[in-house]
Amino acid sequence: MTQDYGIAEALKELGLKENNSGVSTGSTWLNAGGEVIKSYSPVDGKLIGCVTGASESDYQVVKNKAKSAFTDWRKVPAPLRGEIVRQIGDELRARKAALGKLVSYEMGKSYQEGLGEVQEMIDICDFAVGLSRQLYGLTLHSERPNHRMYEQWHPLGIVGVISAFNFPVAVWAWNSMLAWVCGDVCVWKPSEKVPLCSIACQNIVNKVFERNNVPEGVSGLINGDFKVGELMTADKDIPLVSATGSIRMGKKVAAAVGARLGKSLLELGGNNAIIITENADLEMTIVGALFGAVGTCGQRCTSTRRLIIHESVYDTIKEKLTNAYKQVKIGNPLDENNHVGPLIDKNSVNLYLDAMEQIKAEGGNILVDGGVIKGKGYESGCYVRPCIAEVENHYSIVQHETFAPILYMMKYSTLDEAMAMQNGVVQGLSSAIMTNSMRESELFLSTAGSDCGIANVNIGTSGAEIGGAFGGEKETGGGRESGSDSWKAYMRRQTNTINYGTDLPLAQGIKFDL
């Protein structure tokens, strides 16, 4: 373990050791029998700690405990479940610095972004507390006299959460906090690239649950590789699987869950574009494009991948953005003077390098060259330079999402052409337009405009507020998490009819002479 930037102190505060069980039914940590996962930091390449993953029998123990806990947890009044989630929010506030530091060190995003991710967890706790008193149904008018109809919502049962490495704690919180106030129990399969973050979260939740006598099994954790995820997706005892990851992974999850007629909530890849019109505020545009493209080293599903620029301002944007990239500071993400940290691992570095070669092979022009950074402070081999390339939208590499800081620039003549280019990819997560024209912004937001789940005006593609539903269309999966009425994905709808009269009218006027 390293003591740089107070990492050792943070690990101790979060209850982490050099060797950890990665399987838990709640306060009980199993003597797991799966493979050992070694967590190396992309920041400095050092071993942070080891985690023993789940065997198939371990998975069954966690699942069965969750199944049993659901029978009691669903009976707890929703506002009381909300009160417990409120306490989780308070625990996260108390450990925000330590958990933010761990997120930064194990994943590689800047410390500021690590703190921001923990703040998202706190925010969703606050949202869920209010939601616990608003799980509303509808009252409907019956066509039959002396009858009343209404609909209500019930918890589903076990919610399986499969999360990705780039947001190692927030996405789990988006799902679990809402699921818990809805009366569900959760089993979490985190990315094997960031296992220690999941153990830290489990430790935090365990304290609150023990204090409130929450049934063992409401919060389950199963670290492991893809085989553990396959057990979850094929399990008929898990009515909903919420999965975040690549399109390739999402298609496998959807097929497995769909084969048993279960429900899946998918948050998959993005290929997000900013349309920059001739009426854009260029200074604001550069800020939004820069942060969207290089933030988290291009490893957000909402990262800006494409700039679709009006031909009249193309050269100006090109010059300004090239100069802005020269000011980006790359280095240890725990040093708050740096803007960009490393990619998650060497495999991601290789995919980044392959993408730049493919850009050249397809005829693209590398405007700001990338490459791996070497030397003192970059020993992990995961630090790369953000790249800008001039391309055409139809290039196969542009159609594909590369999870790295590569930004594509292309020209357009008319707004209809720009929107066709933006929509002309299989992904449909986030989109934005930079313009001071009301007509352009309204057209972009109209039925004829962006086909994405998120469409912004005069802000970038990256980031989202807790209060709004988060998710995308097409091969992004169609799922919605976080705010608005996303809670309905974690519940089942039931229509109820009550006859308070003395007659029983039958459908289609049928009568029995009795």
Residues forming the active site: 267, 301
CB 183 within 8 A of CB 78: yes
Residue 384: closest CA among 263, 317, 291, 298: 298
432 Cβ partners below 8 Å, 6+ apart?
Answer: 272, 273, 274, 275, 288, 304, 455, 456, 457, 458, 459, 460, 461
H/E segment holding residue 323: helix 314-325
> Which two tokens mark 426?
């299989």
Using alpha carbons only, how large is the chain's radius of gyration in Å?
A: 25
154 vs 82, 409, 489, CA distance in Å? 16, 48, 11
Cβ within 8 Å of residue 395, ≥6 positions away: 359, 362, 363, 364
| First vs last C-alpha separation in the chain | 82
The C-alpha atoms of residue 67 and residue 235 are separated, in whole angstroms, by: 12
193 Cβ contact partners less than 8 Å away, ≥ 6 residues apart = 39, 107, 165, 344, 345
Beta-bridged to residue 266, according to DSSP, are: 243
